[in-house]
Structure 1
């Protein structure tokens, strides 16, 4: 292949879509182009496609900015295991992606410790148990712990026909996925134990691959294998978070990754479709489209997900100078984890926090507004407060 033509094709944005690339360069031999990529540009991964061939990706294309990792690595001063508001949004979004009806009120109720009273709340309770499980760093990723996570989160709430057989960690029959332009047949059930074992090995191996890309790859691979009859999407998103928690990304459970996925749901499914479509053309399972989707639509959107460094610095300075009481520190941590960037009223904070008099709440919001940590917003005759950014 002509070197100039190859260089133009390699730098073309359509490289993520081989069908479109072939239309733009009809004079090119796509087979020859892929062979050159395979020999010099694709980075092989120690995970296999259904034909036993290594998955690959283009590291020159899948480049994640340092700012994304910085947000997720930001230490949390809260003693909460996850951000309540963030995980409220996480649960709502992960259900919405799978078109499972639920309500914010029900999610808040279950996250506040109330017992489930119907099927929808059982599902929410399962997600709550899953989040608590992955937030405990002692629960390292293994085939057994993945099975335990599945049972806690999804398996216990499935109808009998979708239950796993006794002694089985994965499904015992074929599964076909059709919907939102994603058409896929899961891996043969007989091969699942071997492939899942290799995935767990990969998770614990030293790798030159960026942690955030590794998490996205795990996410892709669970959906690709489809190890269970139901709940594969939720498990893929939970394992994505779990890996980041295990790699000590302190804010992984204080940022609703699935909310960003839900906002770009079409691109999410299209990334799966492109990987499958490209593999049919090239014979190579290149996961770059999915990695790039996560880079552009999730990771690079995280910059505004947590309080700014200036806000954090202002709080730390006030704390070190003795301007903030222990109760006010606890209230501030609660505001960050329970509300995030969402507005709240003093009455709402009093009710949700549950361990401070109304006068203390009023004093807290006024002082923190003066410090520049909170800002007030007028809603008619009412005033709400929001973390300053």
Structure 2
């Protein structure tokens, strides 16, 4: 294939839809393009398709903006494992993605430490425990820990045939992913122990794959293998976050990934379908469409969010200079965790924090506004504060 024709096909907007590419350029041209890319551009990864062939991706098509990496890598100043506001949204939206009923007030209540009153709130509590588990960097990704995370956050609320066999880490029967019709059959259950061991090994091995792209690969792999009867999506999204925490992206749990996935749910599912449909033509399990989905619909939204990271250096310097008291430090940590990039009033902060007089709260917000850590916005006679971008 000549260079001009190859470039034209690679830059075609339907490049990741091989069926449309065949129609436009001919099946022979598409196969020639794939053979060329296999020689020149595709990178193999240490994960296999169901036939035992290495999965691949296109590094040049999977570039992660450095601004996103810096945002997630920069240490947050909160002592908490995760941001309450962000994880309130994470829990609510990860359940919405799978059409599981949740109530935002119940999520907020459980995250604030109240006991559950019903099954829905007990489910939320277990999701909270799951986030606490993956937020602790000492909890490494192992098969045992993945099984524990699954049971903790998902399986305790499954019944009957949806539960795993006693003593087993993975399902022992066939499972299908269904939409309007069945479109994917999970891996043969007899092969799951081998493939899941490979997945965990891949998660822990050192390689040249950018961490945010590799997190997508792990996420995709859980959905592809479908190791459980139910809860694979929730587990895949938790593993995505867990891997990033393990790799030192300490601000990961201060952003609600599932909020952005839910807002682009059709694109999320269609990226899985694109990979499946392309595989039928190419016989290559190319994960690039899923990485590109995350780049466009999730990582880019995190990049655009104000978040908690930009003020880190200002706060750290003020602490070094002795400008911040211990009580003010505790209030700041609470604001980071409880409100994220949302707004709050002095009255709301006084009520939510629960361990400071109103005069202390008032002094805190005015001082931190002067330091450049908080911004204010007036609504009539009321003033709302937020972390400054």
- Normalising to structure 2: TM-score of the pair? 0.95
Q: Partner of 1:97 in structure 2?
A: 97
Q: Partner of 1:84 in structure 2?
A: 84
Aligned pairs for 1:181-260 (under 5 A) are 183-260=183-260
Please state if 1:136 is matched with 2:133.
no
Q: Please state whether the residue corresponding to 1:165 is helix, strand or coil.
A: coil
CA distance in 1, matches of 2:315, 2:68: 23
CA distance in 2, matches of 1:270, 1:310: 34
Q: Partner of 1:153 in structure 2?
A: 153
Q: Answer with 57-66 or 319-328: which moved more.
A: 319-328
Q: Partner of 2:338 in structure 1?
A: 338
Q: Answer with 309-318 or 183-192: which moved more.
A: 309-318
Aligned pairs for 1:348-387 (under 5 A) are 348-387=348-387
Shift of 1:307: 4.5
Question: What are the Cα deviations for residues 2-53 of structure 1, in whole angstroms up to 9, with x where unaligned?
Answer: 3321221123332211122223324852222222222322111111111111
CA distance in 1, matches of 2:46, 2:85: 37
Cα pair 2:96 2:262 within 8 Å, conserved: yes
Structure 2 stretches of 5 or more lacking a match? none
CA distance in 2, matches of 1:11, 1:181: 32
Shift of 1:355: 1.3
Aligned pairs for 1:17-166 (under 5 A) are 17-26=17-26, 29-166=29-166
Instruction: Tell me the C-alpha RMSD between the 2 structures.
Output: 1.8
CA distance in 2, matches of 1:309, 1:78: 11
Question: What are the Cα deviations for residues 63-95 of structure 1, in whole angstroms up to 9, with x where unaligned?
Answer: 111111101101122111111111111111111
Q: Answer with 73-82 or 22-31: which moved more.
A: 22-31
CA distance in 1, matches of 2:20, 2:380: 52
Cα pair 1:182 1:273 within 8 Å, conserved: no
CA distance in 1, matches of 2:294, 2:68: 11
Cα pair 2:175 2:229 within 8 Å, conserved: yes
Seen in structure 2, the aligned counterparts of structure 1 residues 280 and 91 have a Cα distance that, compared at 3 Å, is: same
Q: Please state whether the residue corresponding to 1:60 is helix, strand or coil.
A: helix
Q: Please state whether the residue corresponding to 1:364 is helix, strand or coil.
A: helix
Shift of 1:383: 2.4
Q: Please state whether the residue corresponding to 1:365 is helix, strand or coil.
A: helix
Question: What are the Cα deviations for residues 176-221 of structure 1, in whole angstroms up to 9, with x where unaligned?
Answer: 1112788211111111111101111111212111111111100000
CA distance in 1, matches of 2:26, 2:304: 42
CA distance in 1, matches of 2:303, 2:288: 23
Seen in structure 2, the aligned counterparts of structure 1 residues 182 and 208 have a Cα distance that, compared at 3 Å, is: farther
Please state if 1:325 is matched with 2:325.
yes
Q: Answer with 23-32 or 135-144: which moved more.
A: 23-32
CA distance in 2, matches of 1:247, 1:314: 25
Cα pair 2:376 2:383 within 8 Å, conserved: yes
